[in-house]
Structure 1
Amino acid sequence: MAHLCVHEGESLLRVLYYDCPPFNGEVKLPVSGNPYTFAGSDKWLRDLAAKDLFAVRRGVLKFRGYKPKKVPVATQALTDEDFAPDFEQKGVDMRIGLDMANFAADRTVDRIILVTGDTDCVPAMKNCRIRGLQVVLASVPPNSVAAELLWHSDFERTVGWP
């Protein structure tokens, strides 16, 4: 996918991939109060980090409790199965922004190709453009891109899954 984002005449410096490993830890189930252990593996992130020209930037996945699976909530007696865990990814947006700001400040690249649908990246995109970097927004059909992302990029590049 990353190589498809790079056009002829461009060279790939590095692929930066931002994500977080699965949550690991023991929590109490929402109705019974019984303990439940989440045990995910980050092997796939370690495998990605070992690839040529690849760097993985890790955030943290926080457990935020439980959400009902159906709304409105059923009127009969609820069970643990009526709820789904609620997780929140933390620190990923900040890492994207810092890396983009560093590339812009150091002028180590002329162009950044960004694959995102998250409008939290807009301030970092603005900073890059103010400092003279080109920002290419790569989009993957059939997903549409938020207008705010297009407004703060120089080009949109449509990329299909391999």
Structure 2
Amino acid sequence: MYKYAILIDAGFLKKKLFVRNNRVPINSDLIIDFVADIKSSMANVIDDKTFMHRIYYYDAYPADGRFKNPISNSKIDLQQTEIYKINARIISKLKITPNFAVRLGECAFRGWKVNNSALKSNDGHGNVNIVESDLSLNIQQKGVDMRIGLDVATLTLKKQVNGIVLVSGDSDFIPPMKFARKEGVQLILCSLDHKIKTEMLEHSDYSLQV
């Protein structure tokens, strides 16, 4: 019996599915269907009978809070935005979906950032005119990558699985990928045709096409 776990970098997956689905907003059903496709693909590429141990889904609960634009003083309540509502619904649904383990980091407000297009435009004397629409909230995720790395190490050291399917295109995961392979666990990379560094392929055993 070949036992494997699926580890999903949610930020990466949602962006790729958004493009695949003609920029239709992502929902939990699309993610569940994607996992079903992975299970089907794994059954085809592994000679032994396969058993899916668990799906680990790594995300951060959407940022909330009320903020005031420093130029116009207009207010924004993040809990009332569509992106907040969509991501909150996804997390709530996956938390109670069989075999899903939702691992949540944090979203932190890091001030306001100026869009690159505004910075590139000037009056010829190096002066830039910034208006309300040139500013956006700088929201950063914290703790998500660390949780993925820790779970790779835990699954490996406790010998809970024979293989790990990593859904990501982030080269920051190369060290835990190398660790898993050195300890005898197969590392199956699912990058969804994302352009990745060669090292990610070098330190995986198989590239899964889904």
TM-score range, shorter chain: 0.7 to 0.9
CA distance in 2: counterparts of 1:152 and 1:93, whole angstroms: 18
TM-score in terms of structure 2 length: 0.69
| Percentage identity across paired residues of the two chains | 34
Q: Does 1:29 align with 2:77?
A: no
Q: 1:101 — aligned with what?
A: 153
Q: After TM superposition, give the deviation of residue 77 of structure 1 in Å.
A: 4.6
TM-score in terms of structure 1 length: 0.88
CA distance in 1: counterparts of 2:148 and 2:204, whole angstroms: 15
Q: C-alpha root-mean-square deviation of aligned residues, in Å?
A: 1.8
Distance 1:12 1:68, change over 3 A: same
Q: 1:49 — aligned with what?
A: 95
Q: How far does the alpha carbon of each residue in 1:36-60 deviate from its partner, in whole angstroms, 9 at most, with x for none?
A: 3211342220101111111111111
Q: How far does the alpha carbon of each residue in 1:91-145 deviate from its partner, in whole angstroms, 9 at most, with x for none?
A: 000000000100011001010011101111111111111111010001313x223
CA distance in 2: counterparts of 1:35 and 1:74, whole angstroms: 27
Moved over 6 A (4+): none
Q: 1:120 — aligned with what?
A: 172
CA distance in 1: counterparts of 2:204 and 2:50, whole angstroms: 18
Q: 1:146 — aligned with what?
A: 197
Q: Aligned letter for 2:96?
A: A
**Pick aligned residue for 2:114 from 68, 82, 85:** 68
Higher relative contact order (CA 8 A, sep 6+): 2
Structure 1 gap ranges (5+) = none
Q: Aligned letter for 1:3?
A: A
Structure 1 or 2: more helix by fraction:
2
CA distance in 2: counterparts of 1:119 and 1:128, whole angstroms: 15
Structure 2 gap ranges (5+) = 1-33, 44-48
Secondary structure (helix, strand or coil) at the match of 1:13 reads strand
Q: Aligned letter for 2:90?
A: W
